[in-house]
Amino acid sequence: MKKAIIVLCFALSSGLFAEYDLYEKASALIAKKEFSEALEPLSEHIKNNPKDDRALNLIGVVYRDLAGKQDLKKSQEYVKKAEDYFYKAITLNANNNEARLNLASLSYSLGHTKKAILLYNEALRVDSQNIKALEALALIMVAEDRIDDAKVFYTRLAKKEPNRKGVNMGLGIVAMKDKKVEDARKYFKKEIEVDKNNIEACFNLAVSYEYNLKAERGGKGADLDNALKYYEKALEIDKEYINALFNAAIIYGQKKNYDKAIEYTKKAMKNADDFYVAYYNMACFYSLKGDKSNAVSNLKKSMELGYRDFDHIEKDTDLDNIRNEAGYKELVEKYKKKTKL
């Protein structure tokens, strides 16, 4: 009798270990981003353990990540499967925040913002200090222009993990939207202390210096020297960073360094050659430099690409040097007529 019991226990134990091995194997494959390979062991594990909420969450992750590698029809099918598995995991275990966070992230990526916000808030009800939920909600609030709410979530994040990457960046963006320029600069500098190669922090710090303390961009009291310094720092990290090139070019223009302004705009246009504002800026720089021919040709290109702000064109003092050029007059008349048709 004792012998039979021992054999039975061993058999049960072996089965449990086999199921455990399937789960661990799938987990290891997912960690290596080998999602297709993880599908079979996970499916087998769930067949034997249909109420394992951790495994249901994992297979949801697999289908979510495989969806992006399929054609449209298959992708939609996989997304639906991922949603269903995340929901099942949460239904079986209301405290499974991993599944809830995965479902929230998937919902937001599909454009279901209200649903995502609800799920992230539910995650915080389970764990009020959940970093992923706080971070996601902070980012969503900024995107939704709900600045007071964003401030709340970023402040909570800062209290829990003050040196977490992105926290001071978020607080800086909120401060800029609040027109607290000096505070914004402090936060962006803190972000750079945490991550010295954070190009977005350098760029945003540069932008903050383009504003004066009254939150007027380029207004009296704006610190263009520091703005240029941090645009250049951003370009040390990525020499082709388009926004930094454009903005630095404008400041060089304001400083009457037209050759540098033209050089930087041309670099930016390598990756954005259909951007009509860039050609308009080039027209201004060439005009200010006294190169009338290039000024007119760049103005022509900007109009060909769709620039039609004639009120601005005719009042912009940067173009005063080419007002009497035949090419300038012909361009304005030609495209004004096209606009009226």
Q: What is the 3-state secondary structure (H, E, C) of 265-310?
A: HHHHHCCCCCCHHHHHHHHHHHHHHCCHHHHHHHHHHHHHCCCCCH
Q: Which among 188, 241, 193, 238 is positioned nearest to 211, based on CA atoms?
A: 188
Return the pLDDT at 6: 43
Contact 82, 64 (CB under 8 A): yes
Instruction: Describe the crossing of helices 131-143 and 147-160 by its angle, rounded to 10 degrees.
Output: 150
- What whole-number distance in Å separates Cα of residue 47 and Cα of residue 73? 26
The number of residues in the chain equals: 341
Return the pLDDT at 19: 56
Mean pLDDT along residues 189-193: 96
Return the pLDDT at 273: 66
* Bigger pLDDT: 208 vs 35: 208
* pLDDT per residue as tens digits for the range 112-157: 999 999 999 999 999 999 999 999 999 999 999 999 999 999 999 9
- What whole-number distance in Å separates Cα of residue 252 and Cα of residue 181? 22
| Architecture of domain 16-128 in this structure | Alpha Horseshoe (1.25)
- What whole-number distance in Å separates Cα of residue 223 and Cα of residue 229? 10
- What whole-number distance in Å separates Cα of residue 266 and Cα of residue 37? 47
Q: Where are the alpha helices (DSSP H) in the chain?
A: 2-31, 35-48, 53-67, 72-92, 97-109, 113-126, 131-143, 147-160, 167-177, 181-194, 199-210, 224-237, 242-254, 258-269, 276-289, 292-304, 310-315, 326-340
Question: For residue 13, is pLDDT > 60?
Answer: no
Return the pLDDT at 25: 84
Return the pLDDT at 218: 84
Contact 231, 244 (CB under 8 A): yes
Cα–Cα separations (whole angstroms), residue 298 to 222, 310, 331 = 29, 15, 11
Q: What one-letter code names the amino acid at 7?
A: V
Mean pLDDT along residues 1-6: 46
Of 8-12, 36-40, 82-86, 272-276, give the lowest mean pLDDT range: 8-12
Contact 179, 210 (CB under 8 A): no
Mean pLDDT along residues 101-107: 97
For residue 211, report the phi and psi dihedrals to the nearest 5 degrees.
-95, 150
Return the pLDDT at 235: 97
What does pLDDT average to over the chain?
91
* pLDDT per residue as tens digits for the range 255-280: 999 999 999 999 999 887 668 999 99
Q: What are the domain boundaries of the chain? A: 16-128
Return the pLDDT at 5: 44
Sequence-distant (6+) residues with CB within 8 A of 91 are: none
* pLDDT per residue as tens digits for the range 36-47: 898 898 899 999
Whether the pTM exceeds 0.85: the reply is no
Return the pLDDT at 302: 94
CB burial of 212-225 (b: ≥16 within 10 Å; e: otherwise) equals eeeeeeeeeebbbe
